[in-house]
Copies of this chain bind each other. A is one copy, B any other.
């Protein structure tokens, strides 16, 4: 009785026996080694197909001490910007034969620590952290692993290793400068109030710093609460801000989702945008390019961050591990649309 008929797993040696070669030759045929005669190779692959043989990556990984895994964390995959980054990363790594191991941290450093500890047991060859916040133990685990680490969506002062990101603070500075150039002076900010979203905090800090640079008041801040932040929270925050500061003439949302929530609220309250209130967001979400009026924003190049990270990981795993940690800065781009009004 054949192994398949017995219900047993079909191994390389089964294919080898059926063809009349050794397991080694089958192994070589499967990895495309030229040293196998083409006819032998074809015979092997045909027989493998016929027997329903499926290569066992687990066994190969154990022996080779290489898994082809890249561990990836995101606060949540259910956020368009992170999803774009993960998609580009997945595709770029797939081209190198690498498979991502994805985990969500839910914006929680403790959960990040837990998922990273689990992922490390899978013996990934690199770790990509998308906008996380790391406990001391997380940092220790990662350093002890000796793996290449890539931090995304930020430019940390004290990076673990490599970085592909941008300055969240500076990106909001771009928006403030633009709004000021359009004559706005009483500018508010929605969000950036949660400890669980450091990048949001940095954007708010960048907002305050930019206003101060222009000699403007910096107290028009409305909290949004805990991430994930929602459009509805943006609408509520706008209400709260206008209740306290009715003379506000421009508002920046910590993300386009928040800004869009504010825009919808303006439409409901018949507040003219940009006539009475200018609006701007962050992240260049699809919605901002389509809503009426279209939303001024900052493009953080979410996909490009993922693509660059994939390329970096590919290079690092192909032996290019000399030299200091890379720090790839992807400068955000101001996208001026209708909600910030015409120049005055």
Query: Which A residues contact B (CB, under 8 angstroms)?
Result: 9, 52, 54-59, 61-62, 65, 67, 76-80, 83-84, 86-87, 90-91, 94, 99-104, 115, 118-123, 144-145, 230-232, 235, 257, 260-261, 264-265, 267-268, 286-287, 289-292
Which residues of B lie under 8 Å from residue A91 when comparing CB positions? 104
Q: Is the CB of A62 within 8 A of B54?
A: no
Which residues of B lie under 8 Å from residue A119 when comparing CB positions? 99
Q: In the complex, what distance in Å separates the CA atom of A9 from the CA atom of B120?
A: 13
Chain B residue with the shortest CB-CB distance to A141: B54
Q: In the complex, what distance in Å separates the CA atom of A287 from the CA atom of B259?
A: 12
Main secondary structure of the interface of A (DSSP, over half): helix
Q: In the complex, what distance in Å separates the CA atom of A283 from the CA atom of B34?
A: 51
Q: Is the CB of A145 within 8 A of B58?
A: no
Question: Can you tell how many copies of this chain the complex includes?
Answer: 2
Q: State how many angstroms separate the Cβ of A107 from the closest Cβ of chain B.
A: 13
Q: Is the CB of B235 within 8 A of A290?
A: yes
User: Assuming the A-B contacts A58-B61, A290-B232, are A78 and B67 also in contact, with contact meaning beta carbons closer than 8 angstroms in the complex?
Assistant: no
Q: Is the CB of B90 within 8 A of A103?
A: yes
Q: Is the CB of B62 within 8 A of A58?
A: yes
Can you pick out 25 interface pairs between chain A and chain B where the beta carbons lie within 8 Å of each other? A52-B144, A54-B120, A54-B145, A56-B121, A56-B123, A57-B121, A57-B122, A58-B123, A62-B62, A76-B87, A77-B86, A90-B102, A91-B104, A99-B118, A99-B122, A100-B102, A231-B286, A232-B289, A260-B290, A261-B290, A264-B291, A264-B292, A265-B292, A267-B292, A287-B287
Chain B residue with the shortest CB-CB distance to A269: B292
**Quick one: which of B77, B123, B261, B267 contacts A83, CB cutoff 8 A?**
B77
Chain B residue with the shortest CB-CB distance to A144: B52
Q: Which 4 A-B pairs have the closest CB atoms?
A: A267-B292, A231-B290, A57-B121, A78-B83
